[in-house]
Each structure stands twice: as C-alpha cells, then as structure tokens.
Amino acid sequence: MALSRVCWARAALWGSAVTPGPHVTRKLQLVRCGLAWGAPRSSKLHLSPKADVKSLISYVVAKTKVINGKYHRFLGRHFPRFYVMYTIFMKGLQMLWADAKKARRIKTNMWKHNIEFHQLPYREMEHLRQFRRDVTKCLFLGIISIPPFANYLVFLLMYLFPRQLLIQHFWTPKQQIDFLDIYHALRKRSHPEILCYLEKVIPLVSDAGLRGHMTELCTKIQHGTHPAVHDILALRECFSNHPLGMKQLRALQMKALSRAMLLTPYLPSFLLRHRLKTHTIVIHQLDRALAKLGIGQLTPQEVKSACYLRGLNSTHIAEERCRAWLGEWLQISCSLKEAELSLLLHNVVLLSVNYTGTGR
C-alpha cells in the first residue's frame, strides 16, 4: 500500500502517463494549490493599526494641500483683491501663532529657572513686550465679537479700520509704512506742548546753573538744533525731583507724554503716572539688555523697530543714521538711575524732534 502511494506521487511529479485514482488526484490538486499560493502569510507582513492611521493622515494632508492650491489659484484668478486680503490674513494668523508659541516657551523657561523679566536677553524681552501689546489689541476684538452674529460686524470693522483694530501682522507692506507715519504724526503733535511745559518750569529750578542749562537746551531745540548727549545728561538732577520728577508731573504734562509714547491719555492722573512709569522702566530694562548685546548684532528691521519705539520715525531714515541715533539714546539711558527716569521719558522728545530725517 505504501509502495503504491510512492509510485503514484512520483508519476505525478515527473509527468508520468499513469492515470492516478480519484482519491490521489484530489490530494495532488490540493498540493499544487498550496505550491501555487505559497505558504500562509505571516501576520508580521500586515501594517499595524498605527501605520494605517499614519498613512491615512498623510493621504488626507496631501489631498488637502492639492485642494488648497486649487482654491488659491481660483481666488487669484477671479477675486484678486480678496485673494490679497485672504493671503495676508492667513499669514498673519500663522505669525501670531508662532509668536504665541515663542512667548509660551520664554515664559516656561522663566518659570523653570526662576528668571525675572529684566534678566532676559534683549530679543526675548522685546518679544514679550510686543506680544503683550498685540494680545491686548486682539483681546478687544474677541470681546466685541462675543454677542450673537457680532462676528460679521467685527470683520466689517477690521476691513474699515485696520490701523485701529489690527496688529502689524495683518497689515500690508504699504499699510505698515502709512500707519507708522500716521502714528508718528499723532505723537509729534504733543512735542510743542511738552517743550512749552519745560520752558514754564525753568523758573522753578532752584540751581542757577541748571536753569541756564535748561534755557540753553530749550533754545537749541526751538532753533532746530539736535542736542548733544552731554547737554541732556547735564539736566539729570532736574528730572530726579522737583519740578520734573516722575512724582511731580502734572496731569496735562502726563497726557502729552502719554501721546508721545503712543499710550492712551484718557485715564485718571494716578493711572497715567503708573503707566508712564511702568512703560519707561521697561524701555530702560530693554536698553540695558541691548547695551549688553550690542547695536551691531541687530538686524536692520530690529534697529528701525527699536528707534520707532523710542520716539524716532525710522521708516524714512537710513539704517546707519538709525544706528547712530540709537547709540546716543543708549548713552543717555544707561547713565540714568531709576529715580531719573523722567529724563528718559522726556528724551523721547528731546533727542528725536530735530534729528536728521525726521521732518515728516
């Protein structure tokens, strides 16, 4: 029996003409099917559920990019003006999100290492300062869009009043130049009022030498001369106590200084004084951090932004002139103590009003 099975199997494999029985034929068919399909697949060859999810996500992302590209081309062809606004808005959201992540990373690092704001490097200090102002502006938009259907009104207001309601991330390049010029024109209106007040307090200065220096400085500025650093530092004692110390400033003077710093003047006197002092302290801390970093390490855009924050309309001034002016500012700022910060506050006007290129 066993011998016959071997013979039949050999005949089937070697193509023998011997015809096997039905039972053996069925077995040979099963063997051939097994050889044709191969061995059963191992479960290791199948993709894991996690790999399936990743491949699905990558597929969806790729399709989304293709659809998004077609949508952008459609808008660019049929609605070019709307497409420009849409592109700026989307880029602005991306930049704002990147700023938020960076600010969170800085705050986390401050918390982990027990670092105060004034101990941060210059760029991180400046990023936090600007991000706080941007968030305050965005928070106002969020509040007025809370009522039902108010979001449609908010979009209309953003379109009509981009300077007042939107941050710089959502401005076009032309709007950035135009709006900065408008803001500088607003703060420039307060310059004559601030200088007039300085002239009025000259008789209140007890020291005769300081009175003479103050009179000479005001005369130079009125005649269009840019004051030297030593001319301003010579008056530091006048700004540390009566009549020009931070605690001795009057309400009208604080309102004018608030406009010069692009801060709202429509607050009670004690809040104006607190806000001016806080704002000036932050700038003083930024100046010390910038002095450690060095002006030469700043990019052209960082230089112009730093000058504009300190009162100079840097949008129409060459980079070299901006660096020179910022160097003069740092000489004054780094020489002052906290009790003399009223001079730094007035320096926004004294050092910028007659600087070359600020005629606009």
Instruction: Quote the pLDDT of residue 257.
Output: 96
Mean pLDDT computed over every residue of the chain: 84
Q: What pLDDT score does 54 carry?
A: 76
Among 48-52, 75-79, 230-234, name the most confident range. 230-234
Does some domain include residue 99?
A: yes
Amino acid 192: pLDDT: 94
Same domain as 343, residue 326: yes
Whether the pLDDT of residue 104 is over 90: the answer is yes
**61 located within any domain:** no
User: Alpha-carbon distance 289 to 115, whole Å?
Assistant: 14
Looking at the structure, tell me whether residues 183 and 261 fall in a common domain: yes
Threshold 0.85, pTM exceeds:
no
Per-residue pLDDT, averaged over 92-104, amounts to 94
* Pair 306, 281 in one domain: yes
Task: Report the 3 state secondary structure along the chain.
Answer: CHHHHHHHHHHHHCCCCCCCCHHHHHHHHHHHHHHHHCCCCCHHHCCCHHHHHHHHHHHHHHHHHHHHHHHHHHHHHHCHHHHHHHHHHHHHHHHHHHHHHHHHHHHHHHHHHCCCHHHCCHHHHHHHHHHHHHHHHHHHHHHHCCCCCHHHHHHHHHHHCHHHHCCHHHCCHHHHHHHHHHHHHHHHCCHHHHHHHHHHCHHHCCCHHHHHHHHHHHHHHHCCCCCCHHHHHCCCCCCCCCCCCHHHCCHHHHHHHHHHCCCCCCCCHHHHHHHHHHHHHHHHHHHHHHHHHCHHHCCHHHHHHHHHHCCCCHHHCCHHHHHHHHHHHHHHHCCCCHHHHHHHHHHHHHCCCCCCCCCC
Q: Tell me, what's the pLDDT at 226? A: 93
Confidence of residue 48 (pLDDT cuts 50, 70, 90): low
Domain count, the chain: 2
The tens digit of pLDDT for each residue in 19-28 reads 445 444 444 4
How high is the pLDDT of residue 184?
95
User: Looking at the domain assignment, is residue 17 inside a domain?
Assistant: no
Q: What is the pLDDT of residues 256-294, one digit of tens each?
A: 999 999 999 999 999 999 999 999 999 999 999 999 999
Q: How confident is the model at residue 125 (pLDDT cuts 50, 70, 90)?
A: very high
| Residue 251 scores a pLDDT above 90 | yes
Instruction: Assess if residue 326 is contained within a domain.
Output: yes
Indicate if 259 and 325 belong to the same structural domain: yes
Last residue in a domain, options 117, 140, 170: 170
pLDDT of 228 higher than 50:
yes
Please tell me whether residues 132 and 226 are part of one structural domain. Answer: no
Is residue 8's pLDDT more than 50?
A: no
Of the residues 135, 153, 170, the one at which a domain ends: 170
Looking at the structure, tell me whether residues 210 and 338 fall in a common domain. Answer: yes
Q: Name the more confident of 132 and 41.
A: 132
Q: Are residues 211 and 160 in the same domain?
A: no
What is the C-alpha separation between 81 and 205, in angstroms, rounded? 59
Are 220 and 291 in the same domain? Answer: yes
Whether 188 and 337 map to the same domain: the answer is yes
State residue 52's pLDDT score: 73
**Mean pLDDT along residues 289-308:** 96
Is residue 49 domain-resident?
no
* Whole-number Å distance between alpha carbons of 220 and 216: 6
> Biggest alpha carbon distance in the chain?
136
Asked which of 170, 195, 217 is the last residue of a domain, the reply is 170
User: What would the pLDDT profile of 127-173 be if each residue is shown by its tens digit?
Assistant: 999 999 999 988 888 888 788 777 778 888 888 899 998 999 999 99
Of the candidates 134, 141, 139, the residue with the CA atom closest to the CA atom of residue 102:
134
Does residue 339 share a domain with residue 212? yes
Residue 344 lies in a domain: yes
Q: Which tens digit of pLDDT belongs to each residue from 166-217?
A: 999 999 999 999 999 999 999 999 999 999 999 999 999 988 999 999 999 9
Whether residue 66 is predicted with pLDDT greater than 90 in this model: the reply is no
Q: What percent of the chain has pLDDT over 90?
A: 59
Determine the structural domain holding residue 78 and report its residue range.
67-170
Residues 299 and 258 in one domain: yes
Residues 155 and 179 in one domain: no
Indicate whether 104 belongs to any domain. yes
